[in-house]
Chain A
Amino acid sequence: MIVRKNHLQRWIPYLFVAPAFLLIMGVVAYPILNVMVRSFHIQEEDRYGLDHYYTLFTSKIALNNLYYTSYIVIITVLLSIVLAYALALYLRFTQSWASRLIGALYLLPRFIPGLVAVNAMITVIRDSGLLNRIALAFGYDIKPGLMFNEKGIILMNLWFNVPFATMLLMAALSNIPQSLIDSARDVGAGRIKLFVHMILPLTLKDVMIAATFIFMSNIGSFTTPYLMDSSSPQMLGISLFTQFSNMNYEYAAALSVLMFFLCSLSAAVYIYTNMRDKQWEK
C-alpha cells in the first residue's frame, strides 16, 4: 500500500493510541510508581532505604511465604500445562461423542466467578463434603484431607487454569494444518516422532504464553488461599492482604514490588519467545 507520509499521517496512530495509553499511565503506571517509591520509605524514621526489602529476604516468615508460594505456583504451572496439553491433544485429534462434549464443556470454568467456584469446590473436598459422603454411602469413611494445605489450593488452581491453558493450546493445535500432519505421517513418522519433532516445536510458543499467564495470575492469587489455606505459611497474596490490614503500608508496598518483579521475570520470558518468533517469521 502506498501511503503518502505527511506529518498528520505520522501522528494518527499515536492519536488513536493516546486515550488508552494515557489511561494506562494514569491508573496503572502512576500508582505503581507511587507504590515503588513508598516501598523504600521507612515511616518511623522518615527516611528512604532498603529496609523493607532486607526484611523480605531475611525474615524467616517472609522467606517461607516466598518459598511456599513459588512451590505452589510452579507445581500449578507444570501440572496445568501437562494436563491441558494432553486434553488439547485429545480434543484436537479425536472425533467422538466424548471429545465433542468435553470440547463444548471445558470453557465454562474459566468464566465462573472465583469465589463461587472455590466455595463449590470446598463443599466437595472438605472432610465432611461430598467426596466423604459418597465414600460413606459405600461404607468407607475417607477423609480427603485436601483442605487447609497446599493440595487443595493446587487442585483449585488446576480447576481454573487447565481450561485456560487448554483453550490456548487448542487454538495453537488447530493452527497446525492437517495436511502437514498427514504428510509427516506419510513419510513414516510415528505418533511420538510426530509429537516431538513437529507438534511440540510448533506449539512451544503457546506453551510459554500459557505458562506466563498462569504464573502471573497465581503469584498474587487471593480468593483460593483465603478460603482454603491454613494461616501459616501464607501465600504472598494473603500476606499482602494481612500487611495492608495491619496498616504496614510501606512493607506491603515492598511485597507488591517483589511480586511485580516475579511477574516481570515471567513476562520477560514471554516477550523473549514472542520477539524471537517474530524475527523468525520475517
Chain B
Amino acid sequence: MRLIRVLLWTLGESDTLESLLSQTMLTWQREIASCAGLAAELSKEERRLRMFSFKGFYYALGRRKVIEFIIFSVFVLFFYLPLLNLIMLAFSNKYEAPALFPQEWGFKWWDYVLGQKNLMSSIILSFVIAIVTTLLSMCICLPAAYALARFEFPGRKLLFLSFLLSDAFPKMGLYVAIGIIFYKLNLIGTLPGVLLIHVLNSLMFMTWIPANAFRSVHRQQEEAARDAGAGPFRTFLHVTFPLALPGIIVAALFTFLGSLEEAQGTMLVGFPQFKTMPIEMYGIIMQYATTAGPVFSLILMIPTIIVLLLFRRYLSAENMANGFKIK
C-alpha cells in the first residue's frame, strides 16, 4: 500500500527524478526494516542513517537476509524488468531519449492499436485455431499416450522417442519441407494445412506428459475398479482418466499456448488466408518497437497470463517436467 501511495504521489507531482528515486529507496528500506522486525527498535532517523550505507544495511539485517534480498533483486531485475519496461512503454504517449520515465502517460497507442480493424478477427481466428488444435491433438495423442504408458510391447521405447523427432530437426527446414509437400497436396492456404502444422508442434508434449501421467496411476486402483465390475472403458473413464487429468491439462495448456503464439509455420503454410494474432502483430512489434509494439506485446501476453493464472495449481514443476522425460 505504502509503495502504491508513494508511486501515486510521485506521478502526481514529481518535479525531479531524485525525489522519486530517494522516496522509493526509503520506502524499500522501511519495508525491509519492518520485515526484519527492526522497526520497533530503531527510531526513524536512526533507521535512515543505518540503512543508507551498505554496511549498515548488512549488519542491520544479517547476512542471510542480505543475500536473500540480493538474490531476489537480481531475479526480479533480470526476468521482470524487461516486461515491466514494456508495460511502461505501452502506457506512454511521449517518451524521449534521455529521460527515465515518459514525459506524458496515456492511452494514445492503445487507441491506435484497438482501432486496427483486423485485430479482433485475427484474435478470434487464433483462439479458434488454438482450441481446435488442442482438441485434435488430444484425440490423436491421448490413445497413443495411454498405450505407451500401459502396455509393454516391442518397440515401445522407439515409438516414445519418435515424438522427439520434430524437436530435433530445425523448425525452419522442417516447415519448408512440409510446405513443398503441402504445395503438391494443395494444402497450402487451407485450414487442414494450418492445423497440421499446429498439431505437429504439440505431438511431443501431448504424448509424453499424459503418458507419464497415466503411468503414475497405480495399477491396483484400476484393478480394484475392474474387480468391482467395471468394464475397461468405465475403468478408464472413472479411474484412470481423472487421476491422470492434471498431466493432461498441462499438456493441453502447452498445446493451446503454443498454438496461440505459433507464427513461422502458419506464415509459410497459410499466410494470406490465415492471419493469426501473432502474424498480424509480429510485423508491427518489430517495426514500432517502442510505440505500438509494446501494446501489441501486452495484448499477446494477456491470454497467456490469464491461462497460467487460471490453471496455476496444475502447473507444478513435476507435471511440466514430465514433458521431457521417458519413463
Contacts and interface: CB of A to CB of B under 8 A. Distances in A.
Interface of A: 1, 10, 12-21, 23-24, 27-32, 34-35, 87, 90, 94, 96-99, 101-102, 105-109, 111-117, 119-124, 128, 130, 133-134, 136-137, 158-159, 163, 166-168, 170-172, 174-175, 206, 209-210, 213, 216-217, 219-220, 222, 227, 236-237, 240-241, 244, 249, 252-253, 255-256, 259-260, 263-264, 267, 271, 274-275
Contacts of A220: 170-172
Interface string B153-172: 10011010111111111111
A34 B169 CA distance: 13
Contacts of A227: 286
Contacts, number: 244
A265 to B, nearest CB: 10
Contacts of B200: 23, 27-28
Contacts of A244: 172, 176
Given A31-B174, A111-B257, A1 B147 contact: no
A142 to B, nearest CB: 13
Interface stretch (B37-45, B78-86, B109-117): B78-86
Contacts of A123: 82, 85-86, 89, 289-290, 294
B178 A122 contact: no
Nearest to A22: B140
Contacts of B21: 137
A177 B31 CA distance: 36
25 contacts: A15-B147, A16-B143, A18-B144, A20-B203, A23-B203, A24-B165, A27-B196, A28-B165, A28-B174, A30-B181, A32-B177, A98-B69, A105-B80, A108-B79, A111-B257, A111-B308, A123-B86, A124-B82, A136-B98, A210-B324, A220-B170, A244-B172, A249-B176, A256-B174, A271-B161
A248 B264 CA distance: 19
Interface in B252-293: 257, 261, 263-264, 278, 282, 285-286, 289-290, 293
A263 B166 CA distance: 11
Contact of B79 (A109, A137, A267): A109
Contacts of B68: 94, 96, 98-99
Given A119-B285, A130-B85, A167 B172 contact: no
A163 B139 CA distance: 30
B308 A1 contact: no
Interface of B: 17, 21, 35, 68-69, 71-72, 75-76, 78-83, 85-86, 89, 97-100, 139-141, 143-144, 146-148, 150-151, 153, 156-157, 159, 161-174, 176-178, 180-181, 196-197, 199-200, 203, 207, 219, 223, 257, 261, 263-264, 278, 282, 285-286, 289-290, 293-294, 297, 300-301, 304-305, 308, 315-318, 320-321, 324-326
A123 B264 CA distance: 23
Q: Is the interface of A mostly helix, strand, loop or mixed?
A: helix
Contacts of B141: 20
Contact of A97 (B35, B97, B170, B305): B35
A1 B230 CA distance: 16
Nearest to B165: A28
Nearest to B69: A98
A219 B170 contact: yes
Contacts of A113: 261, 278, 300-301, 304
A98 B286 CA distance: 35
A117 B320 contact: no
A13 B153 contact: yes
Nearest to A171: B321
B83 A12 contact: no
Contact of A17 (B82, B139, B144, B170): B144
7 smallest A-B Cβ distances: which pairs? Answer: A256-B173, A171-B321, A16-B147, A31-B177, A120-B82, A220-B170, A13-B151
Nearest to B293: A119
A270 to B, nearest CB: 8
A130 B171 CA distance: 33
B170 A19 contact: no
A14 B152 CA distance: 11
A151 B49 CA distance: 39
